[in-house]
C-alpha cells in the first residue's frame, strides 16, 4: 500500500504492474486509479505465471512513474525477472517496486543487486512477529508519508515505533541470512518429494508454476475432478493447505492468479497449494502426501 501510494503522493502519472500481483498491490493500484491519482496498466503472464520483461517495457509511457512487480508469486511460487525489468526501467528513469514478501527468507534477496528503488518485506513470512514489515526505499527516492504527525521514522510514518516487532524482525532476518541457501536446498528437496509422491498416487496431477524459476517451498497442484475446498475440509484436522493464496483459503471463485495464467476454471477450482517451512520434516511430507492421497481417493470414489 505505502510503496504505491507513497510514490503516487509524490509524483502523479502512470503505473505498470502484473496480473498476478498480491491484492496488497493490485487493490491499491486500482484504488489509486479510481481516485484519479494514477493511470494503470496491468500486463499479463505466460502459462508458468511469469512476466515477459519486453511486455513490461512496451507498456511504459512517457508519464510512467512506477513499475511494481513481485519477486515471487504467493500462489504458484514463480520467480519474476525483477532485475531485468529494473535495469530497463532505470535506463528510462522509471522507479521500480518489488513485493518481496514471499521471497525473503526463502531465496537470497539483495535490493541493491536487484536494482529496485523500493522493496517490501512482510515479517511473518520469515517467522518474525506478525504486524511488522519493512519498506526499503533507495536513497534519493521521494515518497509521501504513510501517517502524518510527529517526525518518527524520518517523517514518513508518525507514531511510536513497534520496538519489539522491529527487534524480532531484525533477528529473523539475521537468522534467515545465515542459512538461506542451505535451507532453500532442503525445502526444494522436500517439495520435489511431495510432488513426486502426489503424482505417483494421482497420475492426473497437474502442477502449476515455472518448473525451475520458483520458490523452493511452494507446491501448487490440481487434482482434476476433486473440489479443492471440499478436499481442504477433509484434510483440516491433519494437513494445513490452501486453495490458492493462504489469505484467500475458503474462497469459492477460481484463483485470479491461475486465471491470469490461462488455467481452465475446472482445474483452478481443483487446485491446492502446499507450503513447506523451516520446521517441516521429511516424515511430515511422507505422512502428509499419504493423507492427501487417501482423502482424494475417498472423494473420487463418492
Supply the residues annotated as catalytic: 247
Q: Using N-to-C axis directions, what is the helix angle for 2-10 and 23-34, rounded to 10°?
A: 30
Q: Which residue has the cell 489509486?
A: 32
Amino acid at each position: 500500500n505505502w510503496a504505491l501510494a507513497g510514490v503516487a503522493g509524490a509524483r502523479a502519472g502512470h503505473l505498470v504492474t502484473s496480473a498476478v500481483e498480491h491484492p496488497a498491490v493490485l487493490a491499491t493500484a486500482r484504488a489509486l486509479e479510481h481516485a484519479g491519482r494514477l493511470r494503470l496498466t496491468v500486463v499479463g503472464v505466460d502459462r508458468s505465471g511469469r512476466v515477459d520483461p519486453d511486455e513490461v517495457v512496451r507498456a511504459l509511457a512517457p508519464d510512467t512513474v512506477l513499475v511494481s512487480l513481485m519477486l515471487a508469486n504467493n500462489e504458484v511460487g514463480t520467480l519474476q525477472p525483477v532485475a531485468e525489468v529494473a535495469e530497463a526501467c532505470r535506463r528510462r528513469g522509471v522507479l521500480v517496486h518489488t513485493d518481496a514478501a514471499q521471497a525473503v527468507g526463502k531465496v537470497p534477496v539483495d535490493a541493491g543487486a536487484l536494482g529496485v528503488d523500493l522493496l517490501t518485506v512482510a515479517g511473518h513470512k520469515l517467522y518474525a512477529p506478525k504486524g511488522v514489515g519493512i519498506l526499503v526505499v533507495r536513497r534519493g527516492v521521494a515518497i509521501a508519508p504513510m501517517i502524518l504527525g510527529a517526525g518518527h521514522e524520518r517523517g514518513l510514518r508518525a507514531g511510536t515505533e513497534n520496538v519489539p516487532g522491529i527487534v524480532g524482525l531484525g533477528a529473523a532476518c539475521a537468522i534467515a541470512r545465515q542459512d538461506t541457501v542451505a535451507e532453500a536446498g532442503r525445502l526444494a528437496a522436500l517439495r520435489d518429494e511431495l510432488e513426486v509422491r502426489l503424482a505417483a498416487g494421482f497420475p492426473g496431477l497437474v502442477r502449476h508454476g515455472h518448473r525451475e524459476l520458483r520458490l523452493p517451498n511452494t507446491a501448487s497442484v490440481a487434482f482434476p475432478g476433486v473440489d479443492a475446498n471440499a478436499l481442504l475440509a477433509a484434510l483440516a484436522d491433519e494437513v494445513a493447505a490452501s486453495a490458492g493464496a493462504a489469505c484467500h483459503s475458503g474462497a469459492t471463485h477460481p484463483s485470479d492468479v491461475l486465471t491470469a495464467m490461462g488455467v481452465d476454471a475446472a482445474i483452478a477450482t481443483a487446485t491446492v497449494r502446499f507450503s513447506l517451512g523451516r520446521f517441516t520434516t521429511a516424515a511430515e511430507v511422507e505422512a502428509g502426501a499419504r493423507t492427501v492421497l487417501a482423502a482424494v481417493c475417498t472423494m473420487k470414489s463418492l
